[in-house]
Amino acid sequence: MKIIYLCLFLLIGSHLTAQDVSYLLSEAEKFEKDKKDDDALKKYQEALTISPSDERSLFKCSELSSIIGNRQTDKKLKADYFTAARTYGETVVKQYPTSADAHYAMALALDKSYTGTKERLQKTGDILNHLNAALKIKPDHARSLYMMGKWNVEITGMNVAEKGALKTFYGGLPSASLPTAIDYFEKARKADPNYLLNYLDLAKAYKKNGQSDKAIEILNHLVKLPPRTADDNGYKAEGKALLESLL
């Protein structure tokens, strides 16, 4: 009889824990929708205290640490957020190697944590590997498609010495180009028509590629979209300024 009661107690405890995690995740998602990323991060971190291997909590803790860290003006605080993003990212990739979100979070964390030219070159190939893994798992993963576009833009912007060093370090990398970047940005737009940052960088890529008419078209759409994140109003303002410069 004692064994039966013990089993019942463990089952109830397990159910309550699952309920607690579910509640915290729903609260975190509400905070994100309200553009309160700091509060959302705290809720995801609370969920990890109950279930340390929860996939969504690990992924969101990594992603939000990268996003919030990018807003910081204090260098040490920024570095602390980026370190946390990498730690969460490494954990979620290790535990969930077949998760597109996990590989995207790790790529984002690596992208945000550059500290110098040498480290930037070292991480570029690792970022590409994680993005390729994410898109192999989920070809329409909007954030990974966007980052692939950014990766191509960054590579095309490197000087000859940097490109040479990169090829030597990795033994060669896939070629990059503005048309390829644009193709990835357009795929990201199709996958998530409301991702404002993608519109801004797509317009910049079109402008850089000598297609100002396309850039104007994209920017006209961007400025009409409602903000979904705490950074979106800033992207809209930048897009508006770029649009005015092209008219």
Q: What is the value of pTM for the model shown?
A: 0.88
Alpha carbon distance 242, 216 (integer Å): 9
Given the structure tokens 């929860």, which residue do they identify? 54
3-state secondary structure 145-205: HHHHHHHHHHHHCCCHHHHHHHHHHHCCCCCCCHHHHHHHHHHHHHHCCCCHHHHHHHHHH
| Cβ neighbours of 213 (radius 10 Å) | 11
Per-residue model confidence (pLDDT) at position 21: 85
Given the structure tokens 């770029």, which residue do they identify? 242
219 within 8 A of 207, measured Cβ to Cβ: no
Alpha carbon distance 76, 81 (integer Å): 9
Closest CA to 68 of 26, 109, 104: 109
Dihedral angle computed from the Cα positions of residues 172, 148, 205 and 197, in that order, rounded to the nearest 10 degrees: -150
180 within 8 A of 156, measured Cβ to Cβ: no
Q: Which domains does the chain have, with CATH numbers?
A: 18-113 (1.25.40.10)
| Cβ neighbours of 98 (radius 10 Å) | 10
Give every residue of the chain whose pLDDT is below 70, as ranges: 1-19, 114-118
Closest CA to 103 of 70, 152, 145: 145
Per-residue model confidence (pLDDT) at position 46: 92
Per-residue model confidence (pLDDT) at position 12: 41
Please compute Rg for the chain using Cα positions: 21
Given the structure tokens 């992603």, which residue do they identify? 63
Closest CA to 127 of 142, 105, 156: 105
